Amino acid sequence: MKKYLPKAILTLAVIGLLAGITVTYEKYRGTDLSRVPQLAGRRLQAAIVDDTKRESVTLVAVASSDVASDTGKRHGYREVSASPPYVEEGLTLYPTIEKGMRTPFDLWRYYGRGVSSFGSPVLPMRFDQWLDFHRKQKPQLMENVRAYMESRFDFSETPLPNATMSGGKPIMKGPVVRPPKGIESFEELASMSVEEIREQDIFPYKPLAHPLQSTAHMVFPREWVRVHPEHERIDVDMDIPESYLPEFPPPLYLTTHKELGDVTNGREVTLDNFFEIFDGLLTPEQMEGLKELLRPTPTTWFNHTDHRITEKPSRGVACFDCHVNGHTNGAFELGPDSRPNMARLRVDTPTMRGNYNLMQLSSKRSVRSMDHFAEIEEYFDGDPGMQQSIGPRAAKREVTNRMGDFNSIIDYPPAPKLDPLMRLIPKLATEQELHGEKLFHGKAQCAKCHYGPAFVDDYMHDLKLERFFVCRPEGPIKTFPLRGIKDTPPYLHDGRCPTLHDVVEFFNLVLELHLSKEEKEDLVAYMLCL
Ligand code: HEC
Ligand code: HEC
């Protein structure tokens, strides 16, 4: 008996030691601050605990701007001291945040630089803690998002009589943006000077931010997620009602088979059915391009690693998961073209229809060809450094060229009222539509930037909205084409104009057009024909 005692003690000691190491390791792993360079983990933990208690609508992340500059100092970055030319009173430094933490909804009020341009594939906490964090944060966040959107828009879901999208979905009437308090009508607002609007801070079409800009990435419409539950996010949902989004699934028209109309017969094109739908209609190269557009690949937040915002590991997303049937389902994202994340503009998915006519792709990046676009559009965050850890699309140039080959035969929807010069055929158009066309080319000045077969000029324009309210200027944005425009709500790069009526109100203010109520209706009636 006695001779076994030392062995037993030794075994127990070893077990104890191992257990101790495991517990310590687990504890350490959960709070490994060395992997979170900028923020004290303390704050993050505090955020987890506190967040459910907070109530205000626009919640600023826990860290304040002095933390931001403090962090900058620690990392040896130059502090933003002298005011850059556009920084005026009223702009605040971005708060320093960690992935997943809430960000202000009114990000136009902020400016500054990030701690680093480079991302990391590591979460600021363990995955089980990450799930738990979002389980707690999401309900409150979404409640605040709804209240915020409700404060800006009146989504009364009133359809326009006698107007539908190409596949039959009703088109919503607007304007749905809420008029400023104390202002009776949009005509009254438009009668005020730019300076008065700015002074009273009543410009209604301010930018929309991503509801969770610290993680950002793609947010899919509910209608899409119902069919593709693998794209349900643990942290945030779509913030715009379905009736203000494009139809799903949308028709797909081919330049090479106009006689067939919608080649999909009302179906969503998938990897499972594309061969059946397109065999005998496409060339082998187009066929391969289409397959590649349908093939999901990992992205920054939809992948098989812990660095994800789906509960289960994800195979990723395909081009057609946002550009469904070569069109758009209204999923939004952040433009990959700036840092810090909070400076990136929200962008809603443009259609691929008629891309063959565009010389300039993406709102700010000025990409010049579809092949090139297919090549670069792998990591929507514009961070090639994430490739190694998350897994690239790895499509060679010949493959991306073929994606471009299919992309370039996706046609616009039919516009039977237009002649070859893109003028309304008087016999087919109503008085109102004809009057709208006249305004479009005349008093309303739309045709200065929207002309030609796609109603686009292929330039970027700076609309200088900073004249109307204190903000960090968004700078030049590309003109978007208006051919088939009734099918792609919401409008502008970030979707801040949910209806065509809102776009007309927007330009009425921005271009100081002083259009009457009737003239604005005529312009909308005209755009529904394009
Ligand atoms: C998040 C869903 C999403 C996915 C997935 C996606 N896109 Fe896009 N796409 C967008 C958004 C958002 C934009 C606008 C980007 C911008 O303005 O910078 C865009 C823009 C484009 C444009 C330019 C359109 C224009 O009018 O300027 C092309 C072309 C395009 N995407 C092709 C692709 C290809 C090819 C893939 C697959 C490799 C892809 N997209 C995957 C959302 C997506
Ligand atoms: C100075 C050039 C210019 C003029 C003039 C102009 N636009 Fe635009 N248009 C743009 C730009 C640039 C955008 C994109 C702005 C953005 O996304 O922030 C745009 C966007 C749009 C959109 C949204 C497109 C989409 O896909 O989301 C519509 C609709 C539109 N314009 C209609 C009009 C109408 C109607 C007029 C006349 C009342 C007009 N535009 C006058 C440059 C112009």
Cα 144 from Cα 146, distance rounded (Å): 5
Q: Report the pLDDT value the prediction gives residue 12, as an integer from 0 to 100.
A: 84
Q: Which domains, from first to last, does the chain contain?
A: 34-149 (no CATH), 159-205+416-527 (1.10.760.10), 222-411 (no CATH)
**With 90 as the cut, is the pLDDT of residue 308 above it?**
yes
Q: Report the pLDDT value the prediction gives residue 5, as an integer from 0 to 100.
A: 78
The alpha carbon dihedral of 19, 25, 28, 29 has a sign of negative
Cα 113 from Cα 73, distance rounded (Å): 12
Question: Amino acid letter at 433?
Answer: E
Atom of ligand 2 nearest to the CA of 515: 38
Angle subtended at Cα 56 by Cα 55 and Cα 61, rounded to the nearest 5 degrees = 100
Q: Report the pLDDT value the prediction gives residue 76, as an integer from 0 to 100.
A: 36
Ligand lying nearest the CA atom of residue 527 = 2
Cis peptide before 473 (omega within 30 of 0): no
Structure tokens at 229: 């539950």
**With 50 as the cut, is the pLDDT of residue 71 above it?**
no
**With 70 as the cut, is the pLDDT of residue 85 above it?**
no
User: What pLDDT digit, counting tens, does each position of 244-267 carry?
Assistant: 999 999 999 999 999 999 999 999
The answer to whether the CB of 349 is under 6 A from ligand 1 is: yes
User: What pLDDT digit, counting tens, does each position of 443-501 carry?
Assistant: 999 999 999 999 999 999 999 999 999 999 999 999 999 999 999 999 999 999 999 99
Structure tokens at 266: 């009302």
Which region among 44-53, 231-240, 473-482 has the lowest average model confidence (pLDDT)? 44-53
Among 495, 487, 454, 438, residue whose Cα is nearest residue 327: 487
Is 105 within 8 Å of 58 (Cβ atoms)? yes
User: What pLDDT digit, counting tens, does each position of 312-346 carry?
Assistant: 999 999 999 999 999 999 999 999 889 999 999 99
Q: Report the pLDDT value the prediction gives residue 354, as an integer from 0 to 100.
A: 96
Residue of higher predicted confidence among 105 and 84: 105
Instruction: Give every CB contact of residue 394 below 8 A, 6+ residues apart in sequence.
Output: 297
The answer to whether the CB of 221 is under 6 A from ligand 1 is: no
Q: How far is CA 283 from the centre of its chain?
A: 33
Q: Which of 92-96, 115-119, 293-297 has the highest mean pLDDT?
A: 293-297
Angle subtended at Cα 345 by Cα 113 and Cα 76, rounded to the nearest 5 degrees = 10
HSE, CB side, 13 Å, CA atoms: give it for residue 525. 20
With tokens 């930018």, the residue in question is 207
Q: Report the pLDDT value the prediction gives residue 443, as an integer from 0 to 100.
A: 97
With tokens 């190491």, the residue in question is 21
Q: Report the pLDDT value the prediction gives residue 117, as an integer from 0 to 100.
A: 86
Cα 355 from Cα 358, distance rounded (Å): 5
Among 470, 474, 455, 464, residue whose Cα is nearest residue 511: 464
Cα 275 from Cα 269, distance rounded (Å): 9
Angle subtended at Cα 466 by Cα 460 and Cα 468, rounded to the nearest 5 degrees = 120
Cα 186 from Cα 507, distance rounded (Å): 12
Confidence of residue 22 (pLDDT cuts 50, 70, 90): low
Q: How far is the CA of 202 from the centre of ligand 1 (A)?
A: 32
**With 80 as the cut, is the pLDDT of residue 350 above it?**
yes
- Test site for ligand 1: of 362, 378, 379, most ligand atoms within 8 A of the Cβ: 362
